[in-house]
Chains A and B, each alone.
Chain A
Amino acid sequence: TQLLEQSPQFLSIQEGENLTVYCNSSSVFSSLQWYRQEPGEGPVLLVTVVTGGEVKKLKRLTFQFGDARKDSSLHITAAQTGDTGLYLCAGKSNYGQNFVFGPGTRLSVLP
């Protein structure tokens, strides 16, 4: 069974601060996605990474896929209150059809 772990579980920071959240597994994934979910809504896809070592930037968000394709990080620069939400990573292996989701990091950005 492939498992994804995310850390930290909860994070509360002030607006303007930087932060990094992590997604780790002992399994190799062919691709990995990051989602943000707001209360009462479905997860919204932020990015997909597919190549080991890949770095993608989405405005103030920087995503990195580990060289061995077992882990990923999300770095947010100068966090804003609108970044508040549950950040989920999900991976898909080369063999399985389904996505494995991590438990998420719940981020609160305070004004």
Chain B
Amino acid sequence: ETGVTQTPRHLVMGMTNKKSLKCEQHLGHNAMYWYKQSAKKPLELMFVYNFKEQTENNSVPSRFSPECPNSSHLFLHLHTLQPEDSALYLCASSQVEAGGFAEAFFGQGTRLTVV
């Protein structure tokens, strides 16, 4: 139990479907992240939220839409995805403090397959 919970663990969706990934952190952290991990590729940062405000969007296609209603919850809304979007989607949280170091705590990920 890492304190970061992702649901669902596995998701298969068609290219015309709309689905959402959910992440919840129980650590009291002020920052949350979405990463994409494809086979044989490094972790790719997608979105960053600090104090519920989106601070980074790494040129992610608009078919991925993040939502952070509060500091404990993060969603990734998916629509009209492509097969190449199939990957492990990881959520992480951290406590960001000026002058301090931070550690990222990850959820178990959602294995997404687009058919």
B-contacting residues of A (Cβ < 8 Å)?
30-31, 33, 35, 40-45, 48, 50, 88, 90, 92, 97-99, 101-104
Contact = CB atoms under 8 A, between A and B. Distances in A.
25 contacts: A31-B103, A40-B111, A41-B108, A42-B6, A42-B92, A42-B107, A42-B108, A42-B109, A43-B43, A43-B104, A43-B106, A44-B106, A45-B106, A48-B101, A97-B31, A97-B48, A97-B50, A98-B45, A98-B48, A98-B56, A99-B45, A99-B102, A99-B104, A101-B42, A102-B42
Interface of B: 2, 4, 6, 31, 33, 41-43, 45, 48, 50, 55-56, 88, 90, 92, 94, 96, 101-109, 111
Interface of A is mostly: loop
A57 B106 CA distance: 22
Contacts of A44: 2, 106
B74 to A, nearest CB: 14
Q: Is the interface of B mostly helix, strand, loop or mixed?
A: strand
Given A31-B101, A42-B108, A98-B45, 5 more contacts: A43-B43, A43-B104, A45-B104, A92-B102, A102-B42
Contacts of A102: 42
Nearest to A45: B103
Contacts of B106: 35, 42-45
Contacts of A104: 42
Contact of B90 (A33, A42, A97): A42
B35 to A, nearest CB: 8
